[in-house]
A = this chain, B = another copy of it.
Amino acid sequence: MASSSAYHAYRVCLIGSGGVGTIASLVLTKSGQAHVTAVLRSKFQYVAEHGWDIESIDHGTMKGWKPHRVVGSAAEAAVEEDGQKVEFDYVVVCTKQLPDRNPVAGMIAPVMTAGRTTVVLIQNGIGIEDEIVAAWPSNTVVSSVSHIGSGIEEPNRVVQVGKDVSKMGVHYGPSSVVASSTASASEADAEANALKKKKGEDFVKMYNAGGAHVCEFVDDIEAARWEKLLWNGTFNTVCALTRTDVGEIQRSKGRESLLLPMMWEIWHIAEAAGHALPDTIVQWMAYRLPDDCAYRASMLLDLENSRPMELEVILGNPLKVARRLGVATPVMDVVYKLLQVEAWKIDELGKK
């Protein structure tokens, strides 16, 4: 395993190797610009020995593929094989977002260098960068809204069926604060923000160089996150609660009675938070899939398999923003409370 990074521009640590994370580590490795250390947990032993078998719409078929280094913990990633401390340029987080069980700030602490390491969150939800900004205020935080379709088949097979399409952008402060006018930023702030932007753009260039289908750098990534929440906060949550696939919730008229009102609630929170989405987007998002679509949303799969759901970042955090900004969310409130009961059941099962 080559641990030298002499020929790479950046040192990258990537945490979480599900379908999304493994393709990201492949893309970054293929870019030629990064020395990539992947932190695996449950899969470490198997993948360290056998590598990944990949079947990808973007990258073709690969057998036994590995990034430059595979380790079993972030603490291990932080120390070179020769005992030297590693200073990472980028830490890419592709884990499930479960702030109550496994906060990202704690997970990445061993591989962070204050003032240097940029954190890239390829994860779902709203407000997920706040804990990172709070812990490392001078570091850059990038987040990605990904539309990739990629999953794992046990033990080490990655199947990517949907192209790697994403938007990335820099968070200059906590998400939950109404977007401030740049005119009010001081000169020092402006300079720091320009440096942050450069780090974000460099990551996006590297990601495109690695053969991702398309990765777009955007100035308002928050808006893109709220836009994705129009789906994740509605179809994903209600299909989980009612055990329906996309076609079923549409044919049952649940789209009109529940999803559309929830989408408008999200639209209004985003607007109040300074991210006005086009008002045609709600109709587009609600009606883009056919009525016989058998897609089963990720939260439904989690619920059916008693795995923890990303409820807090998908509904909990948006509702906190809504309360702070005085936006009414009657439907989201109740769906959230009902899913909290489901989350409690999953927790209880986990204790057995």
Residues of A within 8 A of B (CB): 238, 241-244, 248-249, 251-254, 257-258, 330-331, 333-335, 337-338, 340-342, 344-345, 348
Contact = CB atoms under 8 A, between A and B. Distances in A.
Contacts of A241: 241, 338
A244 B333 CA distance: 20
A133 to B, nearest CB: 30
Contacts of A251: 344
A334 B242 contact: no
Nearest to A256: B337
Contacts of A331: 334
A306 to B, nearest CB: 12
B238 A338 contact: yes
Contact of A334 (B244, B330, B344): B330
- Identical copies in the complex: 2
Contacts of A257: 337, 340-341
A108 B254 CA distance: 34
A26 B335 CA distance: 45
B345 A258 contact: no
Contacts of A243: 345
B244 A337 contact: no
A286 to B, nearest CB: 15
Nearest to A262: B334
A348 B249 CA distance: 12
Contacts of A341: 238, 242, 244, 248-249, 252, 254, 257-258
Contacts of A338: 238, 241-242, 254, 258, 335, 338
Interface centre among A257, A335, A338 (most CB of B within 10 A): A338
A44 to B, nearest CB: 34
A204 to B, nearest CB: 40
A257 B334 CA distance: 9
Contacts of A244: 341, 345
Interchain residue pairs A-B with the least CB separation, the first 8? A334-B334, A252-B344, A257-B337, A254-B341, A242-B341, A330-B330, A252-B341, A258-B337
Given A258-B338, A338-B242, A253 B330 contact: no
A333 B248 CA distance: 20
9 contacts: A248-B344, A251-B344, A252-B341, A253-B344, A257-B340, A257-B341, A258-B337, A334-B334, A335-B338
Contacts of A253: 340, 344
Nearest to A333: B330
Interface centre among A248, A252, A337 (most CB of B within 10 A): A337
A242 B303 CA distance: 11
Contacts of A258: 334, 337-338, 341
A240 to B, nearest CB: 11
A331 B337 CA distance: 10
Nearest to A258: B337
A337 B260 CA distance: 13
A114 B339 CA distance: 50
A344 B256 CA distance: 14
Given A241-B338, A253-B344, 8 more contacts: A242-B341, A243-B345, A251-B344, A254-B340, A257-B337, A258-B334, A258-B341, A330-B333
A46 to B, nearest CB: 35
Contacts of A337: 254, 257-258
